Amino acid sequence: MHNSSSTIRTRLSLMWVFVVLNFLARDFHELARPGMLNQMMEGTVNGVEITEQLMLLGGVMIEVPILMTVLTLFADKKIGQWVNIIAAVFTMAVIGMNNLEPDLDNIFFMTIKISALIYIIRTAWNWKT
């Protein structure tokens, strides 16, 4: 397979899109859980009060993978390599923190996202600069 810098950038960017789509799919999937919509409307989900600070934190957490879809394509190669690795490790930590007591569907989505992030780390690590 051709491994030019543009091919690697495209591959990494698409993997970040894949990660973002899996975050969205998991969140959408959660809406079907009995009582979830009521909890959200009441402002407390699984016993956690949804505050403005928590919403901001959630926004920052999802913005990292969204930003990486673009940054991967436009950053300098050396910077892109390290930012991909750091962002993937950060995103793995976020996934772990948000799944302290996962159910089966969360384990499924977590496995998919972590696998994609491992691929991102491996690809960025092996990206010849």
Backbone torsions φ then ψ of 37, nearest 5 degrees: -60, -40
Share of the chain above pLDDT 70, in %: 97
Mean pLDDT of 94-103: 85
pLDDT digits (tens, 9 = 90+) for 4-35: 888 999 999 999 999 999 999 998 988 888 98
Q: In the structure, what pLDDT confidence band is assigned to residue 1 with cuts at 50, 70 and 90?
A: low
**Token output for 64:** 């990292």
The structural domain count of the chain equals 1
DSSP states of 53-121: HHHHHHHHHHHHHHHHHHHHHHS-HHHHHHHHHHHHHHHHHHHHHTTSS--HHHHHHHHHHHHHHHHHH
Is the pLDDT reported for residue 49 higher than 60?
A: yes
Is the pLDDT reported for residue 70 higher than 80?
A: yes
Q: In the structure, what pLDDT confidence band is assigned to residue 116 with cuts at 50, 70 and 90?
A: very high
Task: List the domain range (segments joined by +) for residue 44.
Answer: 5-125
pLDDT digits (tens, 9 = 90+) for 77-97: 999 999 999 999 999 999 998
Please tell me the predicted confidence (pLDDT) of residue 110. Answer: 95
Please tell me the predicted confidence (pLDDT) of residue 84. Answer: 98
Instruction: Show the CA angle centred on residue 78, arms to residues 73 and 80, nearest 5°.
Output: 30
Is the pLDDT reported for residue 55 higher than 80?
A: yes
Please tell me the predicted confidence (pLDDT) of residue 100. Answer: 78
Please tell me the predicted confidence (pLDDT) of residue 128. Answer: 86
Collect contacts of 25-28 with beta carbons under 8 A, ≥24 apart. 25/109, 26/105, 26/106, 26/109
**What distance in Å separates the CA atoms of residue 12 and residue 5, rounded to the nearest whole number?**
11
23 contacts 62 by C-beta, under 8 angstroms: yes
DSSP states of 25-56: HHHHHHTTSTTHHHHHHHTEETTEE--HHHHH
